[in-house]
Structure 1
């Protein structure tokens, strides 16, 4: 049972890491579009932007409802990354240890 629990927590940690990567990529892509470095008329760029938006929107929406826009600057990705990092660093190891103690 312990290897299964370890594997599940490994997958959760990896998925949260990928989500952080997607949040950073979405922020960089939005800056590149805003400053006309790239445009959304390119089909590949549009597809990547749409995918990243679909992945990150459910995570960012609660933060964007709480935090007002600061003069057009959206800091919700920064706060989302901080919360996800806290989950990875503190809650996942504690939950993993608690489950292991529960079963053994």
Structure 2
């Protein structure tokens, strides 16, 4: 059972870092440091967007419109951190 706990923690860490990479990349695209017309940048951007849309979609439906400001990555990061805390506090159930 401890291996299930470690796998869950690893998956949460991976999703956390993917969201941070997507967040930073969105800022770099917005400030025109990166250009999505470049093939590699475009593939990475659209791949990350498709990968994270199942996470962001339900959050965007709940959050009110903020006039171009997307808070769904921050809410997703907070949710992942909360899940990590819950798993760590219930570690005894996995042993």
Instruction: With the length of structure 1 as denominator, give the TM-score of the two structures.
Output: 0.82
Runs of 4+ aligned residues of structure 1 deviating over 3 Å after TM superposition are: none
Higher RCO, 1 vs 2 (CA within 8 Å, ≥6 residues apart): 2
Give ranges in structure 1 of 5+ residues lacking alignment.
none
3-state SS of the aligned residue for 1:59? helix
Instruction: With the length of structure 2 as denominator, give the TM-score of the two structures.
Output: 0.89
Residue of structure 2 equivalent to 1:37: 33
Q: What CA RMSD, in Å, does the superposition of the two structures yield over aligned residues?
A: 1.4
Q: For the pair shown, which has the larger CA radius of gyration, 1 or 2?
A: 1
> Equivalent of 1:64, from 50, 60, 63?
60
Instruction: Note if contact 1:40-1:46 (Cα within 8 Å) is conserved in structure 2.
Output: yes
Give ranges in structure 2 of 5+ residues lacking alignment.
none
Aligned pairs, how many?
95
